[in-house]
Amino acid sequence: MFYQWSVIITTLLLFLSCASESPKQTSHKGLIIQKITEPIILNGGVDEAAWNKASWYPMDQYWIGAPTSKEDFSGRFKVLWSNDRLYVLAETTDDIIRDMHEDGLERYWDDDCLEIFIDENASGGDHQYNHNAFAYHIAHNLRVTDMGLDSLPAYFDHHLQSAKVTDNNITTWEIAIEVHTDDYSFGQKPRKLQAGEKIGFMIAYCDNDNSKEREHFIGSTKVEGEDKNRGWIDAGIFDKWTLVE
Ligand SMILES: [Ca+2]
Ligand SMILES: [Ca+2]
Ligand SMILES: [Ca+2]
Ligand SMILES: [Ca+2]
């Protein structure tokens, strides 16, 4: 009798443990992007109700530099989508805002900047000198830079509309981004978005206060391995987000 009960209990426990584990194996970390319910006014202010629908996510993964104080850098972000754009709200705290390269195409990653990574079809793979994915560096003057097909940096201002407000050390960035396919060439129109699709996405901040090269590079995604500065080359490390209504 005791043996029968122990078999039943063991079977039940095994069933419960499998049932609780199976969703973890099939989900993509549960990262979802909600659709906007009303227009977003790009002004660096968050007074529109649409943003209430989205959750805050942290920018807390140190890809370059050792963990630092909240005053030196801290950041969080929200994402929404419409049929035509992704919308990003980022709030960054940085004690010294610095833009030392006047030419926005020169070592732009060593100036303070926000960086938004998009792999429109969540394909992963190399995107260093192709448009399999984009790594938009948004400077504090709101100019946008990424690598072109010719392996040279180029301005991509026309893919984004941005506004920001800096109050003391806190900057609020409000950005609308067109989504382009991997066969993108200059002048090509963006594609439409639809519910249910998956997009590769992550966001980071390059923080440089006093140095020749950036002191910290802090992103939203946990990157395994020694070299964590791989986002500008490898779209395989981007998180996969699902667009929902
Ligand atoms: Ca706004
Ligand atoms: Ca700083
Ligand atoms: Ca891709
Ligand atoms: Ca800084």
For residue 128, how far is its CA from the centre of ligand 1 (angstroms)?
Answer: 32
pLDDT of residue 243: 98
pLDDT of residue 161: 98
The C-alpha atoms of residue 209 and residue 96 are separated, in whole angstroms, by 5
Q: Which domain holds residue 181?
A: 29-244
In a domain, 171, yes or no: yes
For residue 103, how far is its CA from the centre of ligand 1 (angstroms)?
Answer: 29
In a domain, 113, yes or no: yes
For residue 36, how far is its CA from the centre of ligand 2 (angstroms)?
Answer: 32
Tokens 């002191």 belong to which residue?
A: 215
For residue 172, how far is its CA from the centre of ligand 3 (angstroms)?
Answer: 28
Q: Select from 202, 212, 209 the least CA-distant residue to 107.
A: 212
The C-alpha atoms of residue 52 and residue 49 are separated, in whole angstroms, by 5
In a domain, 55, yes or no: yes
Name the token pair of 152.
Answer: 């040279």
pLDDT of residue 30: 79
Ligand number, closest to the Cα atom of 89: 1
For residue 45, how far is its CA from the centre of ligand 1 (angstroms)?
Answer: 4
Q: Select from 222, 213, 229 the least CA-distant residue to 60.
A: 222
Ligand number, closest to the Cα atom of 69: 2
- Tens of pLDDT, residue by residue, the chain (245 residues): 544 555 444 444 444 443 443 333 333 357 999 999 999 999 999 999 999 999 999 999 999 999 999 999 999 999 999 999 999 999 999 999 999 998 999 999 999 999 999 999 999 999 999 999 999 999 999 999 999 999 999 999 999 999 999 999 999 999 999 999 999 998 899 999 999 999 999 999 999 999 999 999 999 999 999 999 999 999 999 999 999 99
In a domain, 9, yes or no: no
* Cross-strand partners of 162: 175
For residue 214, how far is its CA from the centre of ligand 2 (angstroms)?
Answer: 10
pLDDT of residue 29: 53
Neighbours of ion ligand 3 (CB under 5 A): 119, 121, 123, 132, 182
In a domain, 15, yes or no: no
In a domain, 14, yes or no: no
In a domain, 92, yes or no: yes
Neighbours of ion ligand 2 (CB under 5 A): 72-73, 94-95, 207, 209
How many domains does the chain divide into?
A: 1
For residue 121, how far is its CA from the centre of ligand 3 (angstroms)?
Answer: 5
Contact residues for 123 (Cβ-Cβ < 8 A; gap 6+)? 132, 133, 182, 200, 235
| CATH number for position 101 | 2.60.40.1190
pLDDT of residue 5: 53
In a domain, 127, yes or no: yes
For residue 204, how far is its CA from the centre of ligand 1 (angstroms)?
Answer: 21
